[in-house]
Structure formats: structure tokens, C-alpha cells
């Protein structure tokens, strides 16, 4: 079964987004002492590539992901994702970029516990302007695609960590993203569940052709990427 009811034929899957970064610098100011979170990062990820970012806590990995995902604005340097020049997008265009181009997967899942698994996915479809009458069926199909069709009406609190992350992946796929950004997606999972979740992300990557960026502390997870980069003290080391 296809992972995404938007695009059931893998052969016609849209190519993933290439990422082009030059001299990307990010400083958190407004504190007593400004924090240089990223310092002149250069990085190219080809369309449909799979890269892993590793590095110690506080190194700047999440900051880099939040900039690439349009959650924060580039302050200095070039940042292009597919046809989008993120430094030049208006606030509305950046919001549209987040909704239509990027799928986020987080360590702590980021699901709303007042909603069922299906409603969590429906919410993402609603944000992508999918008509009301299509959302229910499509959310069900997305959950089916991650092997959770029978748990669609359960709340996240009734699901295991691995199942919650699969719901989060279904939600990330709702907009048929060209880019999936996963920030320590297996950080809260045991080794075996971590590999199942990673295999699911890899299947999405393969079938949808989307570009996949995974931040991880797990060497085995990183080994599976095409390229691994080390982020250390705001710099891309390798």
C-alpha cells in the first residue's frame, strides 16, 4: 500500500527538494549574552537525498532544522529549499512553505492528546486546505499506510512511543512534502522500535522521493544515511 493517498504511484512521485545553504549564521540575541547557534554553515543536499546530522547537545542541530523548515528566519547567508529562497519569503509565504513543502517529525512526537490519531492527521490536512469531506478518509489512509489503521480512533496517550511516532510520520506526510525534517525521531524509543521507525521514514523517502534529514545521536541510525555531517559549536565539521 502506498504511504500517501495524494500520490499513490511512486513513479509519478514529485522529486524531493534540494537544499542549498551558504554562510548560514544564526545568533540568538535578546539575552544577556547573544548565543551564536550557527556560524557560516555551508551544506548542499541533493533532491531526494538522505542525510544525518550528528553532534553534541547545544551544537545547533535543531536551530539548523528550524531554519531549513521555515520555523525561523535566516538572519545571514543563503538558504534555498527547492524553488524557495527562504531569506526572501514574506511571513505568509513562509507559513505556506511550512504547510506545503515540509514534514516535521520531532523527538517528543508533538501530537495533541485531546485528539485521536486520526484527528491529529486531519488537523494537518485542514491546515493544507484539504476539503472537510476528504479529510477523514485521507487521514485514515495515511494511518493505514503507517500500519495504524486499526488504531486511528485512539488518542496518543493510548499508543506506545513507536506508534505515536508513526502517527507523527503520517501527519508529516499529510501535505505530500518534498522535504522531511526529523529531529531526533528515535530519541525516545528503544533500539528495536527506533529501527522500525527509521525503516518507515526510509520507506517514505524511497516511495515518495522526498529529501530526508535526520538529526540523531544514534550511530546505527546515522549509518543508514547517504551522508553524515557533524555539527559542533555551530559549525558543520564534516
Q: Which residues bind ligand ADP (CB under 6 A)?
A: 28, 31, 35, 37, 55, 57-63
Q: Which does 41 bind (CB under 5 to 8 A by kind): Mg ion, ligand ADP, none?
A: none
Residue count at the site for Mg ion (CB under 5 A)? 1
**Residue closer to Mg ion (CB basis): 176 or 218:** 218
**Contact in structure between 20 and 84 (CB atoms under 8 Å):** no
**Residue closer to ligand ADP (CB basis): 28 or 228:** 28
Q: Which does 58 bind (CB under 5 to 8 A by kind): ligand ADP, Mg ion, none?
A: ligand ADP
CB of 232 to ligand ADP, least distance (A): 9
Binding residue (CB under 5 A) for Mg ion from 6, 52, 62, 222: 62
Output 42-45 pairs: Cβ under 8 A, ≥24 positions apart.
42/236, 43/19, 43/229, 43/236, 44/18, 44/19, 44/20, 45/18, 45/19, 45/211, 45/213, 45/227
Q: Which does 60 bind (CB under 5 to 8 A by kind): Mg ion, ligand ADP, none?
A: ligand ADP
**Residue closer to Mg ion (CB basis): 146 or 168:** 168
**Residue closer to ligand ADP (CB basis): 11 or 33:** 33
Q: Is 116 in the site for Mg ion (CB under 5 A)?
A: no
Which residues bind to Mg ion, rule: CB under 5 A? 62
Amino acid at each position: 500500500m502506498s504511504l500517501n493517498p495524494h500520490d499513490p504511484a511512486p513513479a509519478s512521485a514529485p522529486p524531493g527538494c534540494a537544499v542549498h545553504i551558504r554562510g548560514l549564521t544564526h545568533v540568538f540575541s535578546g539575552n544577556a549574552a547573544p548565543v551564536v547557534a550557527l556560524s557560516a554553515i555551508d551544506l548542499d543536499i541533493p533532491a531526494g537525498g538522505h542525510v544525518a546530522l550528528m553532534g553534541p547537545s547545544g551544537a545547533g542541530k535543531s536551530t539548523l532544522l528550524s531554519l531549513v523548515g521555515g520555523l525561523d528566519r535566516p538572519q545571514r547567508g543563503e538558504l534555498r529549499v527547492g524553488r524557495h529562497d527562504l531569506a526572501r519569503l514574506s511571513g505568509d509565504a513562509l507559513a505556506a512553505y511550512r504547510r506545503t513543502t515540509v514534514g516535521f517529525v520531532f523527538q517528543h512526537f508533538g501530537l495533541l492528546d485531546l485528539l485521536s490519531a486520526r484527528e491529529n492527521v486531519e488537523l494537518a490536512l485542514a491546515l493544507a486546505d484539504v476539503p472537510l469531506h476528504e479529510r477523514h478518509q485521507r487521514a485514515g489512509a495515511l494511518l493505514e499506510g503507517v500500519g495504524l489503521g486499526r488504531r486511528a480512533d485512539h488518542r496518543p496517550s493510548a499508543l506506545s512511543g513507536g506508534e505515536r511516532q508513526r502517527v507523527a510520520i503520517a501527519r508529516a506526510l499529510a501535505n505530500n512534502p518534498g522535504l522531511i525534517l526529523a529531529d531526533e525521531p528515535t530519541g525516545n524509543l528503544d533500539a528495536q522500535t527506533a529501527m522500525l521507525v527509521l525503516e518507515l521514514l526510509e520507506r517514505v523517502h524511497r516511495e515518495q522521493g522526498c529529501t530526508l534529514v535526520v538529526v540523531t545521536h544514534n550511530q546505527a541510525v546515522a549509518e543508514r544515511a547517504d551522508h553524515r555531517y557533524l555539527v559542533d559549536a555551530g559549525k558543520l565539521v564534516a
